[in-house]
Amino acid sequence: MQTRTAREIADYVGGTLHGDETVALHTVGSLERAGPGALAYAEAAYLPRVPATRASCVLVPPGERPERTVIVVDRPRVAFARAAQWLLHRDRPAPGVHPTAIVAPDASLADGVHVGAWSIVEAGAAVGRGTVIHPGCYVGRGSRIGDDCLLFPNVVLYAATELGDRVTIHAGVVIGADGFGFVFDGERHIKIPQVGHVTVGSDVEIGANSCIDRGALDETVVDDGAKIDNLCQIAHNVRIGTHAIISSQTGIAGSSTVGEHATIGGQVGIADYCRIDPRGIVGAQCGVPSRKRVPAGEVYWGTPARPLRNIKKQQFHLNRLPQMAADLRRLQAEIEDLKARLDRK
Give residue 344's pLDDT: 80
pLDDT tens string 304-342: 999 999 988 888 888 888 999 999 999 999 899 888 888
Give residue 305's pLDDT: 94
Give residue 19's pLDDT: 96
| Residue 285, pLDDT above cutoff 80 | yes
| Residue 345, pLDDT above cutoff 80 | no
* Active site annotation includes 236: yes
Nearest to 196 by CA among 176, 223, 173: 176
Mean pLDDT of the 144-154 span: 98
Give residue 157's pLDDT: 98
Q: Own/partner pairs for 269-276, CB < 8 Å, 24+ apart?
A: 269/303, 272/235
| Residue 275, pLDDT above cutoff 90 | yes
* Residue extents of the structural domains in the chain: 4-87, 96-307, 315-344
pLDDT tens string 203-241: 999 999 999 999 999 999 999 999 999 999 999 999 999
Task: Give the whole-angstrom CA distance, residue 221 versus residue 259.
Answer: 12
pLDDT tens string 164-217: 999 999 999 999 999 999 999 999 999 999 999 999 999 999 999 999 999 999
Mean pLDDT of the 140-147 span: 98
Share of residues in the chain with pLDDT > 70 (%): 99
Identify the three-state secondary structure at position 96: strand
Quote the crossing angle between the two packed helices 308-319 and 321-344, to the nearest 10°.
50
pLDDT tens string 241-253: 999 999 999 999 9
Q: Which residues contact 220 (CB under 8 A, 6 or more apart)?
A: 179, 196, 197, 198, 199, 212, 213, 214, 234, 235, 236, 237, 238, 239
Task: Give the whole-angstrom CA distance, residue 271 versus residue 42.
Answer: 40
Give residue 64's pLDDT: 85
Task: Give the whole-angstrom CA distance, residue 270 versus residue 299.
Answer: 15
- pLDDT-derived band at 138 (thresholds 50, 70, 90) equals very high
Q: What homologous superfamily is domain 96-307 in, according to CATH?
A: Hexapeptide repeat proteins (2.160.10.10)
Note the maximum CA span of the chain: 105
Task: Give the whole-angstrom CA distance, residue 265 versus residue 304.
Answer: 15
Mean pLDDT of the 39-54 span: 95
**What DSSP letter does each residue of 278-342 carry, written as one string?**
TT-EE-TT-EE-TT-EE-TT-EEETTTTEEHHHHHHHHHHHHTHHHHHHHHHHHHHHHHHHHHHH
* Burial of residue 331 (number of CB atoms within 10 Å: 0-12, 13-18, 19+): exposed
**Which residue out of 236, 243, 261, 317 is catalytically annotated?**
236
Task: Give the whole-angstrom CA distance, residue 28 versus residue 84.
Answer: 7
**What DSSP letter does each residue of 221-242 carry, written as one string?**
EE-TT-EE-TT-EE-TT-EE-T
Give residue 225's pLDDT: 98
Angle (nearest 5°) at CA 216 between 210 and 217: 135
Mean pLDDT of the 95-114 span: 98
Give residue 129's pLDDT: 98
- pLDDT-derived band at 156 (thresholds 50, 70, 90) equals very high
| Residue 49, pLDDT above cutoff 90 | yes
Give residue 92's pLDDT: 85
Establish whether the linkage from the previous residue to 93 is cis, with ω within 30° of 0.
Answer: no
Q: How many Å is the Cα radius of gyration of the chain?
A: 27
- Average pLDDT in the chain: 96
The CATH fold of domain 4-87: 3.40.1390
Beta bridge partners of 240: 222, 258
| 114 residue type, one letter | H
Mean pLDDT of the 34-50 span: 96
- pLDDT-derived band at 116 (thresholds 50, 70, 90) equals very high
Q: Which residues contact 150 (CB under 8 A, 6 or more apart)?
A: 92, 131, 132, 134, 167, 168, 169
Nearest to 97 by CA among 116, 76, 123, 69: 116
Give residue 1's pLDDT: 66
